[in-house]
Homo-oligomer: A and B are copies of this chain.
Amino acid sequence: MELLKQKILKDGVVKAGNVLKVDSFLNHQMDVALFTEIGKEFYNRFKDCNVTKILTIEASGIGIACVTAQSFNNIPVVFAKKSKTKNISDDVYTSRVVSFTHGNETDVVVSKSYLNEGDRVLIIDDFLANGSALEGLISIVNQSGATLVGAGIVIEKGFQPGGDLIRSRGIRVESLAIIDSMSDTSLTFRD
């Protein structure tokens, strides 16, 4: 997605430890006009899949997922919660996720009320690197018996193994920008 790649080149900052800082428009401050274009692009890629529900994970996936849902005729969005609150029933699907950014492990939960075998689920997230968050969401979809139509990712770090690993299992992963290499001075996208 050319608009997104230009935005990354213009406003993204590469930091030590393979961190791409895009918090001026994606995951701290959020450019909602860009999110709308991202949502349209996800719709173009998955419009023939009869998606009934979007699944994402808190926190930075939520804004993108909600705006994307508008392009899918306002289908419901469910976000996996990172900790169990007293507002969530015990009746949950759960999965363990390791955060690349935070360097810690978290259990994420989705109430069984909001995903079931009748659903056709599109997973949306902002980043794909080692794939732990995506694996966790895939596990939750599988636990629910729903059909996974695929995953829509805004930025994939193609030099980390998550994307290739998950695609090798036959799961459709559509990333709007795949970065093959990055350094202080250059950033290369996959064609």
- Please determine whether B36 and A79 come into contact, CB atoms closer than 8 angstroms: no
Given contacts A32-B66, A69-B32, A74-B33, contact A87 B101 (CB under 8 A): yes
How far is B111's CA from A31's CA once the two chains are assembled, in angstroms? Answer: 16
Given contacts A66-B35, A66-B67, contact A79 B114 (CB under 8 A): no
Decide if A63 is an interface residue (CB 8 Å cutoff). Answer: yes
Query: How many protomers of this protein does the assembly include?
Result: 2
Decide if A141 is an interface residue (CB 8 Å cutoff). Answer: no
Decide if A97 is an interface residue (CB 8 Å cutoff). Answer: no
Given contacts A86-B19, A87-B23, contact A78 B29 (CB under 8 A): yes
Decide if A81 is an interface residue (CB 8 Å cutoff). Answer: yes
How far is B70's CA from A35's CA once the two chains are assembled, in angstroms? Answer: 10
> Which of chain A's residues 26-51 have a Cβ closer than 8 Å to chain B?
27-33, 35-36
Partner of A29, one of B32, B77, B103: B77
Decide if A10 is an interface residue (CB 8 Å cutoff). Answer: no
A–B pairs, 28, beta carbons within 8 Å? A17-B86, A19-B86, A28-B79, A28-B81, A28-B88, A28-B114, A29-B76, A29-B111, A29-B114, A30-B78, A30-B79, A31-B74, A32-B66, A32-B70, A32-B74, A32-B76, A33-B74, A36-B70, A58-B58, A58-B62, A59-B62, A59-B81, A63-B63, A63-B65, A63-B66, A63-B77, A66-B67, A86-B101
Within the complex, the shortest CB–CB distance from A54 to chain B, in Å, comes to 9
Band of interface residues on A: 35 or more
- Please determine whether A83 and B62 come into contact, CB atoms closer than 8 angstroms: no
Residues of B within 8 A of A76 (CB): 29-32
Within the complex, the shortest CB–CB distance from A46 to chain B, in Å, comes to 16
